Chain A
Amino acid sequence: MSAFELALVILNLVITAIYAAILWVMVQQRRLMDEQLAAMQAQLREAERTRTAAHRPVLRVEPPIFVPAALPMPPIEMRRLRNIGVGVAMEVRYFIHERGTGIIWVRSSLDPIGAGEFSQEFFIPQQLLALDIALIVTYADIFGNRYWTLYHFASQTHSFGEGEPEHLQR
């Protein structure tokens, strides 16, 4: 191998080393940018969570109101919701469904409910209380985020969730 060929090989090696170094720097930069992007997205999510939490409505089912009816009929049971959250609940809809069978006996909608306020009364046919029924209320905050509340009559328990209730999706 002549001195000229040796010089060419060394030059090639040097150029390869430079390219490798440039590539390594680019990969490192890309990694750094990904980390920064993830941090920014987390910050945005946190800001969004804080923003919605400051306006979040929470609906709770109130104890029944008994409305007197003509004798010999028993009094009729009415229910109301109370918004115990800090924002107005919009697009309030409710479903009374039988657990196990999934049949929906009543579905209806209510006017928006302000923070700390009661909803209109709504009517629950008393025959339904003989079945194992639950009341599902779906509602939205002012940003359009959706929430749901499930009230089980027999155990008088609430459960809450965000988004659409999975058990109502087909």
Chain B
Amino acid sequence: MAVASERSITVDVKPISPEEIATLAEQTWSPLPDLNLEYLWDAMARGFQVIKVGWLTRYGPAYGGPAILFVVRNAEGKEGATLVAPGKKVAEFIRQNLEKWKRNGVPFERWEFLTQTER
């Protein structure tokens, strides 16, 4: 059973340029930079490929701050997703794989969570 939240939350999804995600990842301060990146690497080592990259304005792994969402899929069609906290390593990781992802047609999205105060 699903319930409606007392707070109204909506998400606004817009396309964003991959360079902008890399810049945001590098320049945004995080209390735990690059958190969860090793889990993404672990998944990629087990045959998962990145199929979507998103910049989340909230609900990240480090104290609910901003995050980079990586949606991954393996050869069996199994999908997973990892939220990575912004940091220098993840920015470098995005820049390294940028060309490959562009060739594969990976979409880049900005997910803005809008929360209204409690009624």
Residues of A that sit less than 8 Å from B by CB? 62-70, 73, 76, 78, 80, 98, 101, 103-110, 120-123, 125-128, 130-131
A78 CB contact (under 8 Å) in B9, B62, B69, B78: B9
Closest to B72 in A: A127
CB contacts (< 8 Å) of A121 on chain B: these are: 5, 7, 9, 59
The answer to the question of B23 belonging to the interface, with a C-beta cut-off of 8 Å to chain A, is no
Number of interface residues of B (CB under 8 A): 36
Q: CB distance B80 to A105 under 8 Å?
A: yes
How many A-B contacts at CB < 8 Å in the complex? Answer: 96
A103 CB contact (under 8 Å) in B35, B43, B56, B61: B43
Closest to A107 in B: B61
Closest to B83 in A: A106
Q: CB distance A120 to B13 under 8 Å?
A: no
The answer to the question of B60 belonging to the interface, with a C-beta cut-off of 8 Å to chain A, is yes
Closest to B63 in A: A109
Flag B21-65 by CB within 8 Å of A: 1 or 0 each: 000000000000001100100110010000000001011111110
- Given A69-B13, A70-B13, A127 contacting B79 (CB threshold 8 A): yes
Q: CB distance B4 to A65 under 8 Å?
A: yes
- Give the complex CA separation of A68 and B35 in angstroms: 27
Q: CB distance A78 to B80 under 8 Å?
A: no
CB contacts (< 8 Å) of B4 on chain A: these are: 65
Q: How close is A104's CB to chain B, nearest CB, in angstroms?
A: 6
Q: CB distance B13 to A130 under 8 Å?
A: no
Q: CB distance B2 to A64 under 8 Å?
A: yes
Q: How close is B35's CB to chain A, nearest CB, in angstroms?
A: 7
